[in-house]
Amino acid sequence: MSDAMSEKAETLTVYRRLFAFAGREKWKLLGGLLLGGLSSLATVSYAKAAQYAIIAIEDRSVQLLGLHRIQVLGLAILGIFVLSLIKNAAQYGGGYLMTSVGQQVLAKLRLAFFSRVEYLPLRVFDQWRAGELMSRFSNDGGLLVVGVMQFPLFVQAVITLVFGIPVMFYLDWKLTLLIILTGAVVALAVSRFSSLLRSFTQHSLMKTADLNAMLQESLDSMRVIKAFSREPHEIQRFSERNDSFLGAALKLAQISITQTPVVDFIVTLGIIVILGASAYEIVLGIKRPDQVVQFLALVLVASNPINQLSNYYVDLNKARVAAQRVFEVLDLPIEEPDAPGAQELISPRGAVAFEDLHFAYVPGHEVLRGVTADVKPDNVVALVGPSGAGKTTLVNLIPRFYSATSGALRVDGINVNDLKLASLREIIAIVPQDPLLFSDTIERNIRYGKLDATPAEVEAAARAANAHQFIVEFPEGYNTLVGARGVRLSGGERQRVSIARALLRDPRILILDEATSSLDSESEALISEALGRLFVGRTTFIIAHRLSTIRRATLILVIDRGRVVETGTHSELLARGGLYASLHERQSLEPVRTA
């Protein structure tokens, strides 16, 4: 019983949250309900019009309100026609209003979903697959659309029953009780199917998300797949997951399809019993044929909603499960809000201090273990160390992508936790090793660094990044579409666009993951020249791999196992003969391209 109560409370919570998205559209929702009620009232009134028609046909001497039987028959037929017009017009108006509200709710829900994802901390993306989020946005959103489309019909069916049952009680309470008993059996069957549907819908949506996640992963890793000729392997993996999804989908379809004939059989059985009982009442003279026709017309009016409710309930149930999955994302915590009294960075200098900094992605497994360093404004700092030493983690703490477990990170003497996040990130630009470009034009990708930049400023940034020349060689110039993730550009071209974007932003702090580690000598020379301009007048952190870049550094931090084990200049560290000297010697054994 407690589980049932909990389930009902959860359902009410979901619908209440969905209803909250209606906002100012609630009056439309009320209007839709009223029109639905009018449509249902007209449907129920068919029975009375049908009774008058039977009376006129059966009794030649009948007169109602002084009218002849032909006139009564004509008015009954006209009444059915008028009622049909009212019913359908009200049904259309109510359905349109409620569907309009539903679509408004879904539009707001999609926007809220996207907005929430945009403000989620990076820690969440470390745990959630992109395909999982995509599935909840698209597939679960699709189920919500179906549920919203069915909701007006569901409400209208309920209203029809609310109007029809009291009239049926008045005409024949015994047979009405039999109908209610049939409805109770139907409700019991629907409830049982509903429980199964929720479970299998949840399972099916999880399998769908798993399938989408693999597709997304495959698209992102296509170069690796082809490089290792792993197409058959990936197809086999996908086939296994596809079969798993197929099994879940077939089971869900089986439950959905089974419900309709089961409910229809129960309703039909009830109607047969009622027809038999009504025939006996006519034979025994308990009722006149017109009274039986009126009652049976109401039975038909009521049986149709009962059948419809079971079908609508299936879609609404799926929509409820989908809504829960969407709300699960909406309930994920966003990035830590600004602390009360958070400060703005005014005239930032770019000084950065790490004070006994500790950090762990997973509690108990520290990645950074007491990092301490003081970086003066305009310094070029190279972070050097073995793979997995914590270099990337350290620079990710500067823009507060993650928050330190303990210790302090200060910018211009202020703890980053005491700064407004927007103010902190406004002075930072990042140039990743694998530049990320949007599927848009070159001009808009550069402008992303400063949205209100003039065309002249965009071009100046491109020239400084040694990108202008290759850009104007395209037929569309700066309006050239770069494709998904910049696929239409070479690695060096993407990197130069990324550098132009950073130059346009003109940050006080620059974070650079070695930009020349995988380029040909010509591209490396152009990018190294552009980086020389980018370093001027700002504090720069470089995750360094090449000697040519390390030699530019005014300060080198050697990191090993989450600690800064050596600091100094290139020559100072070589003279000490420590870890840096060892790493330098190891790289010096390999051919090194210099700009």
pLDDT of residue 22: 75
Least confident range of 196-200, 358-362, 577-581: 196-200
State the alpha helices, DSSP H only, in 473-509.
491-505
Picking from 276, 266, 272, 277, the residue whose alpha carbon sits closest to that of residue 307 is 266
5 pLDDT tier (thresholds 50, 70, 90): low
Task: Say yes or no to pLDDT of 533 above 70.
Answer: yes
pLDDT of residue 357: 92
Q: What is the DSSP string of 198-222?
A: HHHHHHHHHHHHHHHHHHHHHHHTH
Task: Say yes or no to pLDDT of 593 above 50.
Answer: no
Picking from 462, 470, 594, 469, the residue whose alpha carbon sits closest to that of residue 530 is 462
Q: CA angle 303-307-308, nearest 5°?
A: 115
Q: Residue 539: beta bridge partners?
A: 509
Q: What is the DSSP string of 273-328?
A: HHHHHHHHHHHTTSS-HHHHHHHHHHHHHHHHHHHHHHHHHHHHHHHHHHHHHHHH
Three-state SS at 331: coil
Please say whether the dihedral angle defined by the alpha carbons of residues 449, 506, 414 and 385, taken in this order, is positive or negative: positive
Q: What is the pLDDT of residues 448-496, one digit of tens each?
A: 888 888 999 999 989 888 888 889 999 999 999 888 778 888 888 888 8
Report phi then psi at 346, rounded to 5: -105, 130
Distance CA 503, CA 26 (A): 49
Contact (Cβ atoms closer than 8 angstroms) between residue 17 and residue 113? no
- 87's tokens: 């019913």
pLDDT of residue 589: 40
Q: What is the pLDDT of residues 18-31, one digit of tens each?
A: 777 777 777 887 88
pLDDT of residue 519: 54
pLDDT of residue 1: 45
Task: Say yes or no to pLDDT of 60 above 60.
Answer: no
Q: What is the pLDDT of residues 536-550, one digit of tens each?
A: 788 989 887 666 667
| Mean pLDDT of the region 254-260 | 71
Q: What's 555's DSSP letter?
A: E
pLDDT of residue 595: 36
Picking from 355, 364, 363, the residue whose alpha carbon sits closest to that of residue 397 is 355
- 556's tokens: 């080198």
Task: Say yes or no to pLDDT of 99 above 70.
Answer: yes
Q: What is the DSSP string of 348-388?
A: ----EEEEEEEEEEETTEEEEEEEEEEE-TT-EEEEE-STT
- 152's tokens: 């007006």
From residue 171, alpha-carbon distances to 71, 135, 188, 195 in Å are 25, 52, 26, 36
Pairing of β 365-375 and β 352-362: antiparallel
Contact (Cβ atoms closer than 8 angstroms) between residue 41 and residue 86? no
Task: Say yes or no to pLDDT of 588 above 70.
Answer: no
Distance CA 455, CA 150 (A): 50
| Mean pLDDT of the region 84-108 | 81
Task: Say yes or no to pLDDT of 306 above 70.
Answer: no
Cβ neighbours of residue 244 closer than 8 Å, sequence gap 6 or more? 207, 210
Specify the residue for token string 């609508």.
312
Q: Which residue would you say has higher pLDDT here, 259 or 169? A: 169
Q: What is the pLDDT of residues 178-219, one digit of tens each?
A: 777 776 776 677 667 666 766 777 777 777 777 777 776 776
Contact (Cβ atoms closer than 8 angstroms) between residue 120 and residue 399? no
- 369's tokens: 């273990």
- 44's tokens: 């129920």
Contact (Cβ atoms closer than 8 angstroms) between residue 392 and residue 565? no
Distance CA 527, CA 552 (A): 14
Q: Which residue would you say has higher pLDDT here, 356 or 68? A: 356
Outline which parts of the chain fall under CATH 3.40.50.300: 352-588
Picking from 139, 142, 130, the residue whose alpha carbon sits closest to that of residue 218 is 130
From residue 237, alpha-carbon distances to 209, 215, 226, 248, 267 in Å are 15, 11, 15, 17, 46
Q: What is the 3-state secondary structure (H, E, C) of 52-99?
A: HHHHHHHCCCCCECCECHHHHHHHHHHHHHHHHHHHHHHHHHHHHHHH
pLDDT of residue 520: 55
pLDDT of residue 335: 80
359 pLDDT tier (thresholds 50, 70, 90): very high
Q: What topology is assigned to 21-330 in CATH?
A: ABC transporter transmembrane region fold (1.20.1560)
Element at 195 (helix H, strand E): helix 173-220
Task: Say yes or no to pLDDT of 399 above 80.
Answer: yes
Task: Say yes or no to pLDDT of 358 above 90.
Answer: yes
Three-state SS at 585: helix
Task: Say yes or no to pLDDT of 145 above 90.
Answer: no
Pick from 165-174, 239-248, 479-488, 513-522 the range whose average pLDDT is largest. Answer: 479-488
Average per-residue pLDDT for the chain: 78
Residue at 91: amino acid letter: Q
Task: Say yes or no to pLDDT of 429 above 70.
Answer: yes
Three-state SS at 423: helix
Pick from 120-129, 176-185, 395-404 the range whose average pLDDT is largest. Answer: 395-404
Q: Residue 328: beta bridge partners?
A: none
What long-range pairs does 29-34 form, CB within 8 A, spacing at least 24?
29/97, 29/98, 29/101, 31/93, 31/94, 31/97, 32/93, 32/94, 32/95, 32/96, 32/97, 32/98, 32/101, 32/152, 32/155, 33/94, 33/98, 33/155, 33/159, 34/94
Outline which parts of the chain fall under CATH 1.20.1560.10: 21-330
Picking from 420, 402, 424, 388, the residue whose alpha carbon sits closest to that of residue 357 is 402
Three-state SS at 411: strand
Task: Say yes or no to pLDDT of 377 above 60.
Answer: yes
pLDDT of residue 409: 93
Picking from 365, 358, 371, the residue whose alpha carbon sits closest to that of residue 566 is 371
Q: Of all residues in the chain, what percent carry a pLDDT higher than 90?
A: 9
Instruction: Mention the CATH class of domain 352-588.
Output: alpha beta
Q: How many CB atoms lie within 10 A of CB 532?
A: 11
* Strands of 469-591, DSSP E: 509-513, 539-543, 555-560, 563-568
> The pTM is what?
0.70
Specify the residue for token string 């100094």.
568
